[in-house]
Structure 1
Amino acid sequence: MSAGTVTAEQAARALVDRMKEVALCLDFDGTLSPVVDDPEAARPLRGVVELLGPLASRFAAVAIVSGRPAAYLGEHVAAPGVRYLGLYGLQEMHDGRIRVDPRLEEARPTVAAAAEALRESDAVHDSGAWLEDKEYAVAVHTRRIPDRERWADRIDRAARRIADRYGLELIPGKMVWELRPLVRSDKGDAVRRVVDESGARIVVVVGDDLGDLPAFAALTELAAEGHDVLRVAVRSEEAPPQLLAAADLVLQGPDEVLEFLRRLVV
C-alpha cells in the first residue's frame, strides 16, 4: 500500500482483508474534528465516534494521537478499546486510566511559570490571543483573532523568547505556538509504541498538520523494516504541502475521513 497513490476504496479493501493486523492511528483536530476558531469547541464529526469502537474490536489497534491532553481526547472521542495518546504520546489514556511520562511531572512548575510569562507578554495580552493550559504544556492560539496576521510575528518572537528563557521546546502549528518540556516525543514515537505493543504488521496514519510529519516519517522507517504502511493526509487550506506530497492517499476534509472509516466497518 505504500507504493504509489491509492484510492480510498482500494485502501479500505486492502485493510479489511487483513484487519487483525492493522494499527489505525488518527489525528484529532482537522481530521476527526473540523477546524474551528475556538479550540475548546472542537468536537468530532457526527458519526465518527460510533465507528471507533467497532473498529477497535476488529483491528489490532485504534489510537487517537494528538497534541491534545489525553483526558480531553478520552472525553470527547470516547469509544471502547480505543487508545488515546495525548501530548504527542507523552500522556496516554487507555481503559479510563492515564499514564504520564514522569519527566513531565517534574517540569510542571516550569511550564506554569512560562504560561504566566506568556500571559503577561504584550504580544499575547494586546492581541487577545488565547492561552490553552495543557497542564504539562501551554499553547498560544491566534485562530480567533480577527487580524491575526498583524500579530503573528510578535507572538512568534515572544513565544520563542519565553521558551528559551525557561528551557522549553517551541512547537509551531496552524495558528498556534506550543511550549512544552524538552522531553523527546513526537507523533512518530507514539505511532511506533502503538505498533510495538499491538504487534501490528500494517500501519495507517491519518493527519492534517505539521505535527503529523514525524508520524509519516515513522511509517517510512516501518516500511523499510517490512511493515505495510498507508500515509493518509487530510486536505485543507492550511494543510502543509509536504504532508500532502508524502501521502499515499489524500482525503478532502473530515467528511471524507468519516466515509473512509465507514468503509472499514464490515
Structure 2
Amino acid sequence: MSAGTMTAEQAAKALAERAEEVALCLDFDGTLSPMVDDPEAARPLHGVVELLGPLASRFAAVAIISGRPAAYLAEHLAAPGVRYLGLYGLQEIHDGEIQVDRRLEAARPTVEAAAQALRESDAVRESGAWLEDKEYAVAVHTRRVPNYEEWTDRIDRTAREIADRFGLELIPGKLVWELRPPVRGDKGDAVRRVVAESGARVVVVVGDDLGDLPAFAALTELAAEGHPVLRVAVRSEEAPAELLDAADLVVEGPEEVLEFLRRLAA
C-alpha cells in the first residue's frame, strides 16, 4: 500500500483495517524519541510506550529496530509482545535473554581496542566528543560538542582511520560515527526477518536516519514480491534528503509519529 498522496490519517486507517497482517517496524532515536544532546538521556516521547502493547496484541508484529543495544530498547520501551532488535538486528532479546550473533562476540576485543584508540585520539580528546560503548560497537557522538561543525571533518577522518586500522566498518549517522565489526546485518535484514517470522503480508517501516535506508530498500524488494509496503520518514533539520525522497509518507518529528501510532491503535 504505497501511500502516494495518502495522508497519515488515511494510511493509518487502511493499516488498522488489516492489522493482523501488518508488521510495524520502528526506529528509536529521532522517531520514537526526540533527539537530545546527550544520547544516554534519550527517552521515548510520553505516550509512546502505552501504545506499543495494544498495537502488538493486534498487529502481526511490532518491532523496534535500532542501532542501540537490545537491552536498552527493552528497558525504555518495555511492552508485552514487542520485539527488540538491537545493533541493527544483530542482537535480540528472546524470553528475557539477549541473543547475539556469534561473529560479534568474537570481535569484541577488536572493538575494545578501537574504542581505546578513539579515546586517545587528539580529535576526540580535544573536541570533547562522547564515546558510546555499545559492547559490540563503539560510537563517537558530537551532538553536545560546542561548535561541532568545526570538528566534523577531523573526527570523520579519525574515525575512518581507526576503523581501517582495526578492520571495522564505519557507519555514519546524524552527528555520530559508529565503528562495528564487518558482520553482515542491517535494518533491511532485520525487517525481512520480522516479516518472515511473523508471516506478515503488509510491512511498515518508520525511521529518520541513514541507517533506515536499508530498511526502505528492503521494502522496495518486498513490494516487488507482492507485499503492500509503507515507508514513513520522520522529518527533522538533520533528516537525510535521500530518506525523505525514498519515503511514501513524511511526518514531522516524533510528535507526528506518536499521532500516527494513536491512529493505528484507535
TM class by shorter chain equals over 0.9
Distance 1:94 1:77 in 2: 15
Alignment of 1:61-80 (within 5 A): 61-80=61-80
CA distance in 2, matches of 1:160, 1:94: 34
What residue is the counterpart of 1:217 in the other structure?
Answer: 217
| Rounded Cα–Cα distance in structure 1 between residues aligned with 2:163 and 2:134 | 15
Matched-pair contact (CA < 8 Å) for 1:82–1:94 = no
Q: Aligned residue for 2:183?
A: 183
Q: Name the structure 1 match of 2:2.
A: 2
Q: Please state how far the C-alpha of 1:96 moved relative to its aligned partner.
A: 1.9
**Residue pair 1:81, 1:95 contacting (<8 A) in 2 also:** no
SS of 1:178's partner is strand
Partner residue of 1:28?
28
Note the alpha carbon deviations across 1:171-229, whole angstroms, 9 max, x for none. 00000000000001110000000000000000000000010000000000000000000
1:128 aligned to 2:109? no
What is the distance in 1 between the residues matched to 2:97 and 2:259?
A: 30
Q: Distance in 1 between matches of 2:260 and 2:94?
A: 24
| Distance of 1:3 and 1:36 partners within structure 2 | 30
**Residue 252 of structure 1 corresponds to which residue in structure 2?**
252
Q: Which residue of 1 aligns with 2:145?
A: 145
Could you tell me how far apart the structure 2 residues matched to 1:96 and 1:47 are? 24
Residue 99 of structure 2 corresponds to which residue in structure 1? Answer: 99
Looking at structure 2, the residues matched to 58 and 176 of structure 1 have their Cα atoms a distance apart, in angstroms, of 35
User: 1: distance between equivalents of 2:3 and 2:263?
Assistant: 21
SS where residue 232 of structure 1 aligns?
strand
- Amino acid in structure 2 at the alignment position of 1:18: R
**Taking structure 1 as the reference length, what is the TM-score of the superposition?**
0.99
Aligned length: 266
CA distance, structure 1, for counterparts of residue 110 and residue 6 of structure 2: 46
Offset of residue 98 of structure 1: 1.1
1:178 maps to a residue whose letter is: E
When residues 3 and 14 of structure 1 are mapped into structure 2, their CA distance, relative to the original with a 3 A threshold, is: closer
- The residue type paired with residue 34 of structure 2 is P
2:13 is aligned with what amino acid? R
Identity of aligned residues (%): 84
Q: Post-superposition shift, 1:3?
A: 5.6
Q: Which runs of 5+ in 1 are unaligned?
A: none
**Contact 2:3–2:11 at 8 Å: present in 1 too?**
no
* Correspondence 1:185-200 to 2 at 5 A: 185-200=185-200
Cα deviation for residue 80 of structure 1 reads: 0.6
Indicate the residue corresponding to 1:18 in structure 2: 18
